[in-house]
Amino acid sequence: MNPQRRRWLKQIGALAPLVAALPVRAQPATATATATAVDAAADPVRPGRVLVFPQDHGAHPGTRTEWWYATGWLGSEAAPTHGFQITFFRSATGLARGNTSRFAAKQLLFAHAAVTALAPAGAGSTHGHDQRMVRWSGAPEAATGHAAVGRGAVQLAGWSLHDDGSAWRAQAQGGALALDLTLARTQPLLLQGQAGFSRKGPEMRQASHYYSEPQLAASGRLRLDGRDTRGQGRAWMDHEWSDEILAAGAVGWDWLGMNLFDGSALTAFVLRRADGSTLWAGGSFRAPGVAARSFSADEVRFTAGRRWRSPATAASYPGEWQVASPAGRHTVRALADAQELDSRAGTGTVYWEGLSELLDAQGRRVGLGYLEMTGYAAALKL
């Protein structure tokens, strides 16, 4: 869901003290870009808006928050060896109104990347993550970072995610990790909610435009702690933009995107109150060749199982969930407990995001994907 992928995460309020400390550089015009900032005219999230591609792979700077979120695994279905996540976020600062200076920090761009190397039974697995953040005036092709309008291309501080028509290409180079991946399309886009209008609360304004690209064929290279791995696997891509996500009383969410081995795709999420009760829920299920089934808020239930406590943050996360939806009853189980992203020193967020397995009612592994849990270390603020 990143419903900021999320992919986060995404405690925008926590970023405010950092804005003044980040450098802003003037960016010259290029042959394909003028010196003026990208159009940030209001384009509110609303039911009935028709998503158009490939244009809507690009940025929507007139909305408040946006993210592009890719997760996946390398190895085999029976024995995945690595999980990976890379998410690019855009957040409007509110400085665009009436400000014509191309030096103004009208947008924040930040990105998170993580790689998990799995060990048998999860014991001894290793996990690394890194992050980047820049202020962006909105100037097209700004060297420090930019998000293209009308095409899928996000770049900051040497990290990038771009759409070449048949695949997404993701590249990141961090201190302890690196990834260079091709995520090739094998299925049509999956519009979440009602034709891409996805409710996130009881009020219509608490919504996003949201689509997914499940069952991507992943291939390429990962590096963690100096060890390179090349391989193939499966991936999931989410793109979401919104003006308002969290309803009053929501402290965080639990979300999953699962690629089933038969080609199906399962999305499910719940937004939680402080007492753990569900404020809102949703998701979808699509079998190969069949139209997606969108879930209503009363059709999804998450029940927490065993928990894992982070030694770094003391946050306690469910390492296993029972998930009931119109797609059936499933167990979602983390393949390694220690997949927390502690970004308090940078973007100010703490969340858990990791490779997990999907089990059917008979306990058989029927899919792999990512589970995201936010608001456990502190209430999430967007």
Contact at 8 Å (CB) between 125 and 338?
Answer: yes
The answer to whether residue 224 sits within a structural domain is yes
The strand pairing partners of 252, in sequence order, are: 272
The answer to whether residue 250 sits within a structural domain is yes
Tell me how many domains the chain contains: 1
| Distance, CA of 331 to CA of 166 (rounded, Å) | 33
Q: What is the pLDDT of residue 103?
A: 52
Residues 172-192 have a mean pLDDT of 96
Here the CATH number for the domain that contains residue 195 is 2.40.370.10
Per-residue pLDDT of 97-110, as tens digits, reads 555 555 567 899 99
Q: How confident is the model at residue 190 (pLDDT cuts 50, 70, 90)?
A: very high
Range in 24-33, 228-237, 338-347 with the lowest mean pLDDT: 24-33
Query: What is the span of the domain harbouring residue 111?
Result: 12-18+50-374
Q: What is the pLDDT of residue 101?
A: 52
CB neighbour class for 41 (10 Å; exposed up to 12, middle 13-18, buried from 19): exposed
Residues 195-217 have a mean pLDDT of 96
| Distance, CA of 96 to CA of 136 (rounded, Å) | 11
Strands 293-295 and 278-286 come out as antiparallel
Dmax of the chain from CA atoms?
61
Q: How confident is the model at residue 93 (pLDDT cuts 50, 70, 90)?
A: confident
| Distance, CA of 265 to CA of 288 (rounded, Å) | 9
| Distance, CA of 248 to CA of 209 (rounded, Å) | 20
The answer to whether residue 31 sits within a structural domain is no
Q: What is the pLDDT of residue 15?
A: 40
Q: What is the pLDDT of residue 26?
A: 30
Residues 72-82 have a mean pLDDT of 97
| Distance, CA of 89 to CA of 239 (rounded, Å) | 10
The answer to whether residue 131 sits within a structural domain is yes
Q: With 50 as the cut, is the pLDDT of residue 36 above it?
A: no
Residues 163-191 have a mean pLDDT of 96
The answer to whether residue 282 sits within a structural domain is yes
Q: With 70 as the cut, is the pLDDT of residue 22 above it?
A: no
| Distance, CA of 147 to CA of 186 (rounded, Å) | 25
Q: What is the pLDDT of residue 18?
A: 36
The answer to whether residue 90 sits within a structural domain is yes
Residue that wins the pLDDT comparison between 349 and 23 = 349
Supply the pTM of this predicted model: 0.87
Per-residue pLDDT of 138-153, as tens digits, reads 888 888 999 999 999 9
Per-residue pLDDT of 275-301, as tens digits, reads 999 999 999 999 999 999 999 999 999
Q: What percent of the chain has pLDDT over 90?
A: 74
Contact at 8 Å (CB) between 319 and 308?
Answer: yes
The answer to whether residue 228 sits within a structural domain is yes
Q: How confident is the model at residue 268 (pLDDT cuts 50, 70, 90)?
A: very high
Helix (H) or strand (E) holding 377: none
Residues 44-68 have a mean pLDDT of 95
| Distance, CA of 367 to CA of 359 (rounded, Å) | 7
